[in-house]
Structure 1
Amino acid sequence: MGIRDIIEGKKQWRAHMARVKALPPDYRIVYTEIQKYLFKVGPVTLAGDQLLPGIVDFFAEGAADGKGVVELIGTDVAAFADGLIKDAPTYADVHREATTST
């Protein structure tokens, strides 16, 4: 990864976060909680994936339709996030495999 890749990645992240900041407050709060949860759980594919931008797209559509965030995802934020990554390997899975195979 070169310096240009890093700079481009930062530009993309800033543009992504600007879209998050444009969401209504309740959507922003839920997005932040989902993001924290996903960073903690650590799906391996999150870094290069379109998961987070996809959530922002989903939330922007819901907000544009006048729906509340609870109408879209329900009351359990972690269950919603788990549903998004249910088939994706996590860093915990990778670590578990590494420790059991030795």
Structure 2
Amino acid sequence: MGIQDIIEGKRQWRAHVARVKALPPDYQIVYKEMQKYLFKVGPIDLVDGGLLPGIVDFFETGVADGKGVLELIGPDVAAFCDDLIKDSRTYADVYQESINVKPGTAEK
């Protein structure tokens, strides 16, 4: 990863954060809670993937349609996030696999 890649990554992240800040306050609160949850238990490729920008796209569409954030995702933010990542490999999966390996054996 070169310096240009780092600069471009920062530029993209700042643009993403600006989009989040442009959302109504209730959407921002829910987005931040989703982000915290996904950073804890989310998929391994969360940072490199399009999940977070996709959520912002979804929220922007909801705002344009005049819907409240809970109308879009429902009352349980964690359940909504779990549904988003149900087919992705998570850090919890990696941890579970690491504790299931018997001592003295190499993982294949």
| Same structural fold, with TM-score higher than 0.5 when normalized by the shorter chain | yes
Correspondence for 1:57: 57
Amino acid at match of 1:89: R
* Structure possessing the higher radius of gyration over alpha carbons: 2
Asked if the contact 2:42/2:85 (under 8 Å) is kept, the reply is no
| C-alpha distance in 1 between matches for 2:95 and 2:87 | 17
Q: Partner of 1:44: helix, strand, or coil?
A: coil
Amino acid at match of 2:97: E
For structure 1, which segment, 50-59 or 36-45, has the greater mean C-alpha deviation from structure 2 after superposition?
36-45
| Counterpart mapping for 1:19-58 below 5 A | 19-58=19-58
| C-alpha distance in 1 between matches for 2:3 and 2:91 | 26
Structure 1: which 5+ residue stretches go unaligned? none
Structure 2: which 5+ residue stretches go unaligned? 103-108
Asked if the contact 2:73/2:80 (under 8 Å) is kept, the reply is yes
- Give the superposition deviation at 1:33: 0.4
- Give the superposition deviation at 1:100: 1.7
Instruction: Render the CA deviation track for 1:20-39: whole Å, top value 9, x for unaligned.
Output: 00001100100000000000
Correspondence for 1:14: 14
| Counterpart mapping for 1:68-79 below 5 A | 68-79=68-79
Amino acid at match of 2:93: D
Amino acid at match of 1:4: Q
Correspondence for 1:2: 2
**TM-score by structure 1 length?**
0.95
For structure 1, which segment, 52-61 or 87-96, has the greater mean C-alpha deviation from structure 2 after superposition?
87-96
Moved over 2 A (4+): none
Amino acid at match of 2:24: P
Identical aligned residues as a percent: 73
Q: Partner of 2:11: helix, strand, or coil?
A: helix
RMSD over aligned Cα atoms: 0.9
Amino acid at match of 2:61: E
Instruction: Render the CA deviation track for 1:65-88: whole Å, top value 9, x for unaligned.
Output: 000001000000000011100111
Amino acid at match of 1:95: Y
